[in-house]
A and B are shown apart, each in its own frame.
Chain A
Amino acid sequence: MPTSWFLDQLNSTTSEPVRVFTLAGSDHSDNVYKWPTIKREIENLKFNIANITMVNADGLYNEFIESLYMIPATCTLDIGFSHPTSGDELVRLYSGYVEKIAYSDQSMQFQLRDKLYKLSLKKVGSDDDPISISSENPAYIAWTLCTCYGGLDSTASDSNTDIDYDYYTSWYSEFEADDIKTYAYYEGEKIIKCIDDLCEYTDSFAWVNGDGKIVFNRFTEVSSLDFIIFEGQYKKIGIDIDLAKLTNRQYVNYNYSVTSDYWQNQYSEQNTVSVNSYSVHEKVLGKENIWYVAQAQASNIASRIVTRKANPSKDFKIDTLLYGIHREPGTNMRLVNSFYSVSSATGWVVSKQQINMDSFVTIIKTTEALSASAFYLDVSNLDGDEVLL
């Protein structure tokens, strides 16, 4: 957690930010010519890249031309402030590996890629030797995909270097409490695609945090304790309203038959209030590599979706500055804007975050649809037959 002094620096209208780039454990910050833009999001699962341009007038980085493949080039990017007595207080924004280099005149560029890149290179199973998993907690299936097939760290504790274990256990427990079990069948899909499908089918999301660990989570209820961005903390705001994101009748396919290649059952649930207001907006959810076998489980996911997406989505794009650097995708936030009459009484989910380390502009995109009904969404009730709202 950032210290109060660090938060004071974030909120000061005059400050002296410090940026640090390490390459294979050594500080190369003084050689950075252009700092990268760090992007992270929860709407789509994909590996994130960071391009960082270095001064190479003295040929310091020429060794990479011949030996990129043999240099253990783990990289980190941090931003923060230098405390007058206790040293630098930094927030780690990115951890990744040098996967590509490019030279131009007397500068050179490192392209860094995070851990999800590894999962985009490897597949699970094959046509001849498919992988079949029966009735497992979907979180455990994701863990198996990452560790057994993706080669990531399988240490079942906080010291896991590739997966945020606290978030993972919390995610696992939510499914366990709801008795959600899924079957899975993989015939050669890339691991990243399998995890993306799993997240979509279970109304979850994943992203890679600044320490380079994969974070798994589900959308949560907005709280009055969530952070607020005030008008003195951003320079630009935009609102995007898209009726296409509305879903008030959700079909969930379940009980997939691998041998016959068809869905044996389909469950549907609608939000009648929303249908009466906006007419029917229906969608079908079904993944042929992961599925539920019981109606109660299909009902659980359908209820969540028609509750979260029952109203037209108001998505905000806020060009804030360093105020947003210690926030994480998937967390809930509130916003104040007098012109659009937006008050802190409603909340949104941070769905995208783009931090430009060169200009210090941090763009936050929020999606109301992900936390529609804000303070009234009680996920625990979604397991039963109660009619919400």
Chain B
Amino acid sequence: MSLRAHAWLRTAACLIPLVLASERILAQGDQLSNVKMLVDQARASFDQLDYENTVKALDSAIGAIEARPTAEAKRLLSSAYEMRARSLFGLNKQPGARADFVSLLKTEPGYQLTGQVSPRIMTLYDEVAKLTVTEVRMAVVPPDAEVLLDGVRVPASGTLPIAVGDHTITASRIGYKPATHPFSAIAGEPAVVESLALERVASVFRFVTAPAGVEVRIDGISHGVTKPGPPPAEYAEKAARAGVPAAELSSVLTVTELPIGAHRIEFRKDCFVSAERRQTVDQLDDYVLDPVKLEHAVATLTVTSNQTGTLVLIDGLQRGVAPMTISDVCEGQHLVELKSASGRYFQRVDARTGQKIPIEGTLRPAFALVSASGAAALNTDLRLTIEKQFQSSQSVTLFAPAAEDTAKALGAEKLPQDWLAFDLNRRPLGTAAEVAAVMRSDLSAKLSRQFDAQGIASVTVPSPTSRNRLVVAFLAAGSGEPDVLDVNLDSADAATLAVGRLDRGLLFFKPSLGLTVVDVADLDGPVIVAVDPNGPGAKSGIQPGDVLLKANSLAVPDAGTLTTLLAGRKADDDLTLELTDKAGAAKRADVRVLMTPRLIGMNDQSLMINKILVDLKARLLSPGEPINDSVMRLNLAVALARVGLWSEARLELQRVKLNEGPGVSNGTVQYLLGLAAERMGNAAEAEAAWRAAAATTALISEDGLPVKELAEARLQALQRRPGAQ
């Protein structure tokens, strides 16, 4: 075997597995990389003048490209044809070389051979080119039209090499009617395509904005939103002229088919000042506006709160903690909310660009209006009507969460809108009649939590014949017994009255002299009929039967006058009283005003007990004077008991520290502890508490019944129970 044969064998040994591998690789479908590899291998063989292996590798590569002519693969095709043609020429296979040159020029008519080319090959190539390629001269109007020659984009004007044969030129441009021009190229005769002028059919607007994302409305109709840029380079100069940073520019938004006439163009984007341009279309043409820059439209909110740690939300998004300044509030209507554990404040603001809006939030316990039912007079959200009616309340905040949020919350609990519908008689209506108090209690706690409120509320139109009579039901979180308020939309005073009732405040202390006075006919002043033995009156020698004539030299004709006089006093104020005793003898007494605790009536139906509940809970979140807190806690306990929350009431009562004495005092606490213990089934604890209460001179409220009397009645009832000893 000759050396040459050895070399061939060695090469073949190398190539055989290579070809096999190439087929396998091709079969695997990673065509492009395999084609590239084959072409690279062919080039290596070509450079070593190993034409046979070059041809073999390129046969596979060209076959693969022709089988699946992807754009990427086709880019390799011309050089593959060139290399195979020159290899075949080297192998003295001139017909094959000629055929490959023909294929090459049909694929790329303007192709120039690469590298050093032998004159013989060059002669063959030129000879083939003369027969295969000619020229085409093109001139398409408008010159910026998109021109495709056999589907390949080409310049709209100039001379191009072109393969001999049939071709098609298509031209199109926005605003023009597209056109197609078929022609034949003949060897040796340049083709001319100069008459292709597109017909103008529409005017075209082009917009660039800063920033992107601007809605473009022409004559009130939206034509899209600009997308992020950059735009073509020609806009850079215009942008610079308009003082718009190039980086902010959008891409071009093109709008077509605007008729002849004047047009109003609006540029809108949330939180930006809208801009407007006017453009007249005189003729069908292209109209390119200078870049439109929109200025930020923001107001500044300065938010303060009466509580520390108050969260600030704008349109439901948390923005920080008050006090704070928010300088990027977009122009328009916003809901500003301030929230804390004990209350809420909200304000709907209509922000204008550059405006400085102070928000001085006074947080108050809040009721979320979660449902509305009944036939309203107007097709409006009654919750918003009520929210507005109660806006002037100084004690609570009534707010209407978004309707979809309440619908979702009620839906999650499978509750219809009338689940909390009550009439003015506090009778449940519709579905509400099927909701037990204990269930309402659970739901009020859950929904209050869900809406970050201290309670919930509903609004109902109880009668279809009086559609402007609304009833608002209030439930504190955890309460199952609602308070109701009547709001008559026909009456201007109705809301004032309702708010007045809601805002009726509680006083936890009252000035006292430790005297019980009554009015009697035929006397010059009220008669003292009872004297607290440890009170200021007793210390000054006042006795039952004395008649009070003057206080600090002012006549006191009746008990009401004394009450009024005391109402303006504070603890330790001194008063000089002039009296007569039973026998008619004059006497004087210097007394010092004492502040005595007050307690709401356990059964007082005139109280808005749910409002009192949320109010007291809120107040007790900020500790104050121990005695004040104790009295508030005592009142809170009674409010809790009123809505059936005896367990919580008991816990509050256990924290109350009041002295023994007449009026509202420790005896009152003991009596109430007895009630709580009884409710919780602890008869022994109840009995012990009532026994303690029965030994006191306390009252159940400031002017209520003696606790002794009440406690003894309870103890007797305990004794009468079956099984009692």
Q: Do A and B bind each other?
A: no
- List chain A positions with a Cβ less than 8 A from chain B: none
- List chain B positions with a Cβ less than 8 A from chain A: none
